[in-house]
Chains A and B, each alone.
Chain A
Amino acid sequence: MSQHIVSPRLYFLVFAALLALTGLTTGVAFIDLGAYNTVAALAIAVTKALLVILFFMHVRYSPHLTRIVVVAGFFWLAILITLTLSDFRTRRWTPSPSGWETSSVLRQAPR
């Protein structure tokens, strides 16, 4: 057997780090950082998720094939969110052709 066995000490260290980060993210939520509140909350969440994935889920010790699957999963999630937002965020950047403006306009002037 050559499966990597993670030491309980490392598990407890990761656990302590996760608890500390939970405390940190809760504390930061009460400080006014403007838009950076969201950035900080997400950055801490990503860090925590990475700790869980790498150590608790053993991806740090997994073969490349498994790692590719993990990375591909999150890459596809990034595509999902990026393309969805690129649609919603840019809809009003270009002018609509006349008569396309909004549905309420259409309702006011039925043809």
Chain B
Amino acid sequence: MSEAPVALAHQFDDLDQQHDAGSFGMWVFLVTEIMFFGGLFSAYTVYRSLYLEGFVAGSHILNIKLGATNTAVLIASSLTMAMAVHAAQKGKQKALMTFVLLTMLLGMVFLGIKYVEYHDKYVEHLIPCESQACSNLGLEFAPEGEALQPIQRQHAPLPHVEIYFCFYFFMTGMHALHMVIGLGIMTYLLLMARRGKFTAQYYAPVEVGGLYWHFVDIVWIFLFPLLYLIGGRY
């Protein structure tokens, strides 16, 4: 214990201080992320109160089974991420890599299911887009068949449902973008772990990357009820 641990950067007194400074810095960044998504959530709240029927009809069109499955998948990925941090704290290289890999796999399953949902909305002509360039690509907002039923039942004006889908695609799209960035961070962690960069003394990137992953999970924890659930499924 007499020798100074190499993991300690020279500007810190000890490993604890270094660890706390890392988490502190990540949380400051996450606060900016809270405010970023917070802007979207408040815009959602305002427009929902303005165009309630449109938002209710829109949420009825979404596939609640896929949404709930994705919530479970993301929660499971948070568990494997927490276990990855645990493995890093214990200095278990193999377990760390396994759990990071599992987290990535679950993240990709989430994005896969999201792709299926987006594709369904594309097939059902529920892409909010008006320009000529969009219609040339087959992107248009012209719901028909099953998707039209909840809209008629709620007596929801089509433009209001279209605004709901603007929010749906922008909010879930921003979340998906964060998932992709998270997968990039996981890839980095995996490579670093393979090179044996992490020890029980130094695992700050795993901890900080985990904080980011859990934050993205929390965003979805709010997106799921706001977009899929509220609005009366009964």
Contact = CB atoms under 8 A, between A and B. Distances in A.
Contact of A74 (B23, B34, B78, B233): B34
A69 B24 contact: yes
B82 interface: yes
Contacts, number: 141
Nearest to B203: A3
B221 A19 contact: no
A42 interface: yes
A24 B219 CA distance: 18
Interface in B59-99: 64, 68, 71-72, 75-76, 78-79, 81-83, 86, 89-90
A106 B141 CA distance: 32
Contacts of B35: 73, 76-77, 80
Nearest to B28: A69
Contacts of B75: 15, 18-19, 22
A6 B90 CA distance: 11
B157 interface: no
B211 A57 contact: yes
B230 A57 contact: no
6 contacts: A5-B86, A12-B79, A22-B75, A65-B24, A76-B31, A76-B35
Given A5-B89, A11-B82, A49-B221, A73 B31 contact: yes
SS class, residues of chain A in contact with chain B: helix
| Most chain A CB neighbours (cut-off 10 Å) among B28, B42, B86 | B42
Interface of A: 1-3, 5-6, 8, 11-12, 14-15, 18-19, 22, 25-26, 29-32, 37-38, 41-42, 44-45, 48-49, 52-53, 55-58, 62-63, 65-66, 69-70, 72-74, 76-77, 80-81, 84-85, 88-89
A41 B49 contact: no
A19 B72 contact: yes
Nearest to B78: A56
B15 interface: yes
B34 A29 contact: no
B201 interface: yes
A53 B213 CA distance: 11
A44 B34 contact: no
Contact of B20 (A15, A57, A63, A85): A63
Contacts of A72: 31
Contacts of A80: 35, 38-39, 42
B232 interface: yes
Contacts of B16: 1-3
A89 B230 contact: no
Given A15-B78, A66-B23, 15 more contacts: A1-B16, A3-B15, A3-B89, A22-B72, A29-B225, A29-B228, A31-B234, A37-B232, A41-B230, A56-B78, A62-B23, A69-B24, A72-B31, A73-B34, A84-B45
